[in-house]
Structure 1
Amino acid sequence: MKLIRKITFPFVPIYYVVTSLRNTLYDLGIKKSVSYDFPIICVGNLSVGGTGKTPMIEYLTKLLKYDYRVATLSRGYKRKTKGFQLGNETSSVDTLGDEPFQFYSKFKNDVLVAVDSDRNNGIKKLGLLQNKPEVILLDDAFQHRKVKAGFNILLTAYNNLYTEDFILPTGNLREPKIGAKRANVIVVTKCPMNLAENDKTSIIKKLSIEPYQHVFFSFINYAENVISVERNIKLNDLKHFTLVTGIANASTLVQFLEEKDLRFEHLNYNDHHDFSATDIKELETKQLIITTEKDFMRLKQFASLKSKLFYLPINIVLDNEPKFNALIKDFCEKFKR
């Protein structure tokens, strides 16, 4: 893979020019962005996958759901449906995609969960509902310039800052680093829990933020129990298991489990992996399977795995939570004034 990326380096200037030109056309108003008169919060990144967008959307959902009618709007990657879809009792991974179905499974009684590759159409459809949302959270839409979100949250992983990356196809950046200037807030995700203040200062310096931007640091908090449809098991009581991941970067999870001296084998699939019949046959031979919540959404449909399939819940902890929460709530409140 590293060799292929080196070979494709001559294509980097082409990708750079194309993405830069696209952004310039939007910045100059030649290509149109639609603004809205209610709060729209975009969560995204500059790189391809693995920065923690799903936990951030869940964090914002929990923060806002008691004061507003909230909707999440995603593309619905790898779903088997087209156009606008609103989560309901018949929804599945196939109709919504794994991450939106995860949102629906957790928050179906509190928020609306919708998918549409055309975000403007999705916003329009949500606005026509009788119980239309008062706040919309756009998942993975930082490059979706057709919508001009009122508030942009840009995520970058601690061990792979966008400032130290290259643009596609050699690196992982979807657009040039200057795109970060569109963000109101930058969150450095997946930080070690004991991150020192001087390390934070060093990272902020690397990010070279603008006066209007705020930087926060987030940490993954893993649960003490693994969860299945029927029961829970204490993580520390596990003797040996198979870890199954189909996410962009499983290194943080693997490191956490290794630091707890747990014994496991790791079956590492590509992000958003569609588990085939062959995959399921192999998993049926395993005694106990621990997976991520996103992968659990895909695997729980297989009855043969029901008794052995568990997931490890996570949430994020922010280093300056009151300030972050105040920025989000103040943004939403200004539309009521």
Structure 2
Amino acid sequence: MLFWERPDLLEQLLPNVDMEEVRKRRKIRLPELDLPRGVDLKQVIEPLPTAEDFPGPLEFDFSSDHVSLGKREDLTDEQYALLETAIRQFHPWRKGPWKFFDFEVDAEWRSNLKWDRIAPVLGDISRKRILDVGCGNAYYMFRAAAMNPELIIGLDPSIPFYLMFEMVQRFLQISNMQYERLGCEDLPVFDRCFDWALCMGILYHQRNPVQILRDLRNSLVVGGRAIVESQSIPGDGSMALFPENRYAKARNVYFVPTQDCLVNWVRRAGFKDVEVVSHCPVTTEEQRMTEFMTYHSLAEFLDPEDASKTAEGYPAPWRTVVVGTRKYLD
């Protein structure tokens, strides 16, 4: 069996989640797992051992830079070879780093650096309900799990990222985490459900970022807070770059805001007490090619003669983190 049996954690959010609509959307997306990429990844996961195959619970550590589980001695040589095959089949690894049974996976993004920027803002999230929109391979979900929240729900429609999460859960079966193959457009199914929402690196891919932020706000309880992290550009004033075709060689980029513009988006979406947590340029220390992500990365996205510009001549990317609070029901 590929997936381990567990209860549907969204039922803990009733009556504030539209479960009928969630089930409809799950049903629509389910056949996508039988597309070639999903089939290939499921085939390399299925031979791996499950939590029940080990004599006791595996050691894991989500509190350090690497999301780490298991030790090399927990696996036979044959199991370790199967694990390495599975890990390499998941190329490209975008967020990390990870450590599977002492096998280190150096992802394109050193996501621990971004986590270090937001963790102080989160503070004590024990017994809180957390949403991660655009959760990718769930790196931030596992980092949050180290802080003992009541519940963590991740949303991302990606088949590879979802199956990465299921591979980790195959070994650990952590009971307060759930990954839904839903996107930010599905946020309206959640109404006053979460204490914290993470929106990390998705706004600049959206045609209507303010509407996404409004839906994000509505998913929070009164007093709930959101951390909004976005690619941005340097500069004063409230403006956003709308690239003619590509930005840093990416086609799916629509609006790249300045810091002031991102703050205003968050405010216009209805958040209060909006503050900038971090605003800094992206560097090749944080985003780069690795053995586990061999496609072009930041260095190849920039003008080779002027690193302050993208390959298209636009301002090079920064990252901005903003936090805001839902104060009212309206």
TM-score (norm 1): 0.33
TM-score (norm 2): 0.33
